[in-house]
Chain A
């Protein structure tokens, strides 16, 4: 007990503003990586004629139909790549996300390692100078590879240099919320594009389209290892939703969030984490207590919609408890502390 208290007293305090910036830094970097994956895979599969609806589904995943159509009209390779790679007026473009990530990193410069800042700074300044020609269809794949690698460099530098106190937990919670949310959107859109009728579930379908879905999540090889023969929609959906070892599955993301929330509550004694743990419980239960077949028969889209709402709810609980607390609850926690 005393050792535990000693550990806590030595652990530095974290400004609420920094916690929020860490959460968002992680989310934006994760978002960029996911978007780059999706663009890359879409480019490959549309090119091979496997998935003609591919470019439209990228827009659907990001819920950008209205804004995109107003500005660009047709969803083709040129337009979609430009919209998501280099359009600074599009708030969901990689350039905009990277700008936001860098502004958060700038706020965090007193806290994060100089290597973390330096890498994001160089990354942003490179992407800032990209032109429409750099986002031309023939270059999309190469550019996406660079974007993914830069996000992975960020992840590696962060893993290797960032001090592991509560700030690390806030960073990781942001990262896994974003990742879980992205996977749920990817499955939601792709699944219904590929398989509009519930009756088709369980039947063998055009394998290449499921390839695309798995590859967008970097899950193809992992999936093959545990399902060496055949490929069914339900097993792919089950893999992406419920696998315990695949780093992008919703279940794994939820489990990671759980671990970091519990560090915040019991490791660092942050009462604010209790409400977030409660909020997460329901999502965890929903993933544990039913099979993929049950989810599919009750309605995958409804389920994923609900998952996304749970993530939003979790984010709101984090904000309310850690970085936008009402004055009254703060003074209360002060007097109790």
Chain B
């Protein structure tokens, strides 16, 4: 009988399954089981998964005039598998990265040694839109600013893990990690049979514990809440999920009120004190007294209560200065500077055009590089050399030379692939990985993370808005 993986061609990329199956017997067993699957049976199960996600409301909602249409994040039921050894490196790498991020944020809001020592150019920090002067001199419990971190990691042709981006503000997606596992156990138990996979179910407990650790120290049994922008937010399902997993109320801005610099929630028994807030609201919306005065999602007086130590907020305000593209380029140096260690997870090779050698290299190799503007400009002004015309490259060259400090450049990375159900076949599709870490006193990393997959053939874009889906991520014991 023809196996499902017999004609599978991974192309010039690293394959998460086949390249690991070569040297890991458990991965080989998974590949063999997959290959023996009846394609029709696979499709039947995929259809069940889709219906379950929809019926359970594991969805984001698109609101129109008088209706609410639910959409699911497409789910591919072929898991992405990480060996124990691969995970060990990833876990240590994420811990190191989070430690460096927290040390960096503490420093830029206190002594600014790293700026004075010239390791990171001061203007990149002080003139960054996400730098919050309100944070200067403020001490946060355990020096933790980034309580929940999602580090986006890709894998190159050689199988090496590289960090693409740090998400230190309000990273999302962790609910899919847990829900995907629940779904897999229900519809694909025979694939996992006898294979020891690290569980993911304790995320809510760990998050609740970290939030209790950062609450004001004199409080015995701190009241933790999750602050959500409400049912119209596209991540509302995740907010619900996390509130349930933690066993804490999901509150909206109007449920909270600040009196005498203390935060309370409105309950049927009157006002009840709140000690620790996991907020899924951007800095800008948190407190109309301090940030956007037109915000109705936040709570007036919240930042004052926080500054006085009467309530904890996770993640802290002002972490956006550390996950900016401009700072990303300096992360290897930031890790060395604070931790005196070599980075365990490398960055994608990045050339800082604000430095002479970086600029020279970039100008000489424009047709091979992806050049991105730093700071606030996001996707604007980015050029992908291999896809650009000669004229576009020359126009860009002038732009780059006019303001080199505004750019970084990186080589094109051929993201690793993973077998994915396409029609009735398994075909290679590009994937990335977002592990999630939780930090109160110490850092804990959820085994695995969110694997996003670009479902369109050849696409390197894993974002859900552009045809991305997700997979269950297995970390083998």
Contact = CB atoms under 8 A, between A and B. Distances in A.
B158 interface: no
Contact of A17 (B244, B252, B259, B264): B252
Interface string A87-131: 011000000000100010011011000100110011001001000
B68 to A, nearest CB: 8
Interface of B: 54-57, 66-68, 70, 231, 236, 240, 243-244, 249-252, 254-255, 259, 264-272
A127 to B, nearest CB: 12
Contacts of A17: 252, 254-255, 266
A121 B59 CA distance: 11
Interface in A306-337: 322-323, 325, 330-331, 333-334, 337
Contacts of B231: 103, 106-107
B242 to A, nearest CB: 9
Contacts of B264: 334
16 contacts: A15-B249, A15-B267, A16-B266, A99-B67, A107-B231, A114-B56, A117-B56, A121-B55, A121-B57, A125-B70, A270-B268, A270-B269, A330-B266, A333-B270, A334-B270, A337-B269
Contact of B267 (A16, A106, A117): A16
Contacts of A325: 266
B252 A331 contact: no
Contacts of B269: 13-14, 268-270, 333, 337
A309 B288 CA distance: 41
A117 B57 contact: yes
Contacts, number: 86
B271 A334 contact: yes
A272 B66 CA distance: 34
User: Which of B68, B266, B270, B271 has the most C-beta atoms of chain A within 10 angstroms of its own C-beta?
Assistant: B270
Nearest to A336: B270
Interface of A: 13-19, 88-89, 99, 103, 106-107, 109-110, 114, 117-118, 121-122, 125, 128, 166, 170, 264, 268-270, 272, 322-323, 325, 330-331, 333-334, 337
Given A88-B66, A330-B270, A15 B55 contact: no
B470 to A, nearest CB: 20
A16 B255 contact: yes
A86 to B, nearest CB: 13
A300 to B, nearest CB: 36
Contacts of B54: 125
Given A269-B269, A330-B271, A331-B271, A118 B55 contact: yes
Contact of B244 (A110, A122, A270): A110
Given A88-B66, A110-B243, A114-B56, A14 B267 contact: yes
Contacts of A272: 268
Given A88-B66, A106-B231, A109-B240, A13 B272 contact: yes
Nearest to B51: A122
A109 to B, nearest CB: 4
Nearest to B69: A128
A117 B244 CA distance: 13
A322 B250 contact: no
A172 to B, nearest CB: 14
A331 B272 CA distance: 11
Contacts of B259: 331, 334
B250 A110 contact: yes
Contacts of B66: 88-89, 99
Contacts of A269: 269
User: Which of A19, A110, A272, A322 has the most C-beta atoms of chain B within 10 angstroms of its own C-beta?
Assistant: A110
B277 to A, nearest CB: 14
Contacts of B254: 17
A331 B271 CA distance: 7
Contact of B266 (A15, A107, A125, A264): A15
A88 B67 CA distance: 9
A89 B65 CA distance: 11
User: Which of B231, B249, B255 has the most C-beta atoms of chain A within 10 angstroms of its own C-beta?
Assistant: B249
A264 B236 CA distance: 30
A277 B66 CA distance: 37
A35 B164 CA distance: 56
A184 B76 CA distance: 53
A110 B270 contact: no
A160 to B, nearest CB: 18
B267 A128 contact: no
A264 B268 CA distance: 10
A144 B225 CA distance: 41
Contacts of A16: 255, 266-268
Contacts of A331: 259, 271
Contacts of B68: 99, 103
A13 B240 contact: no
Nearest to A337: B270
Nearest to A105: B57
Contacts of B249: 13, 15, 18, 110
User: Which of B252, B254, B255, B268 has the most C-beta atoms of chain A within 10 angstroms of its own C-beta?
Assistant: B268
A270 B267 CA distance: 10
Contacts of B267: 13-16
Contacts of B266: 15-17, 325, 330
Contacts of A110: 240, 243-244, 249-250
Given A114-B56, A118-B55, A166 B255 contact: no
B66 to A, nearest CB: 6
